[in-house]
Amino acid sequence: MSTPRAVAWAGADPYAAALRTGRGPLFLRRGDGWLLPLEVERWCARADPVDLAVLDRCEGAVLDVGCGPGRLVAELAARGRTVLGIDISAAAVDHTVRRLRSRAPGASRALRRSVFEPLPGEGRWDTVLLMDGNIGIGGDPRALLDRVARLLRPGGLLIAETAAVDVDERSEVRVVTGTARATGEETGAVFPWARLGTPALSRYAARSGWRTADQWAAGGRRFAALRTRSASSRAEPPNSTAVISSQRAG
């Protein structure tokens, strides 16, 4: 089950409103007033060349954690890949489903669910994506890495987008609009978040038994590819039927 604080992001009305319009400005704001811009316009657009290069690295069946409005899920589905996007925001899942209908008719590969809740294909995913800073989900990178390791098959691949600077930060944040930024008006619920640069992610990964497979930068963004421990026996990959049969939470 998702915790009340995990659900806080799902109830962040400014986020839902921004996804409906496809526009910001939108920010994560710490208690001290520091702001992190959220790239709503890019998330709501089609996958860009940097995204496409990341998707070219994906292996087998892909789980996109924190899929947002679904640009990556739609691109992978259009390529004929087995893919599931999960997000705790109803607005994000609805946006993803609409996008799939236009780009990959017949596909409905989006589920309203926290990464910490039971998911289809546990232990059998080939690739997990944590894009757009989603390594920060839950505010505890070690716990998130441990959870992702249980979702992946032995030797599976995690691709994470890290902060553009060397940072290792955990904080309480809330989603605010550009108007709230100017007026100081409090909007959205508080929830835990983390920001990690690639060096910090590598440190957490090493302590959790991951192996760093690659690191790279493109278009002003930074990424790391990690692998779980391999095992002598390899689980079967999740099949399309298993994924599609449990798409939408009631």
Give the helix/strand (H/E) hosting 5: helix 4-10
Alpha carbon separation from 22 to 28, 44, 72, 151, 167 (Å, rounded)? 17, 6, 16, 31, 29
Q: Does 172 score more than 90 pLDDT? A: yes
Confidence band, pLDDT 50/70/90 cuts, at residue 185: low
CA distance 81 to 60: 7
Would you give the DSSP letter of residue 134? G
Contact present, 4 and 76 (Cβ < 8 Å): no
Any idea of the CA torsion for 45, 51, 52, 55, to the nearest 10 degrees? -120
Confidence band, pLDDT 50/70/90 cuts, at residue 248: very low
CA distance 57 to 51: 10
Q: Does 30 score more than 80 pLDDT? A: yes
DSSP string, 174-236: EEEEHHHHHH----S--EEEEEEBHHHHHHHHHHTT-EEEEEEEETTEEEEEEEPPP-SS-PP
pTM: 0.86
Q: Does domain 47-169+193-244 have CATH number 3.40.50.150?
A: yes
Q: Which of 83-92, 162-171, 179-188 has the lowest mean pLDDT?
A: 179-188
Sign of torsion over alpha carbons 204, 42, 30, 9: negative
Domain boundaries of the chain, sorted by first residue: 47-169+193-244
Helices and strands, number each (H, E), in the chain: 10, 11
Contacts of 116 by beta carbon, 8 Å cutoff, 6+ apart: 2, 3, 6, 138, 147
- Number of Cβ within a 10 Å radius of residue 183: 11
Any idea of the CA torsion for 204, 130, 120, 42, to the nearest 10 degrees? 170
pLDDT value at position 229? 83
pLDDT value at position 231? 53
- Number of Cβ within a 10 Å radius of residue 174: 21
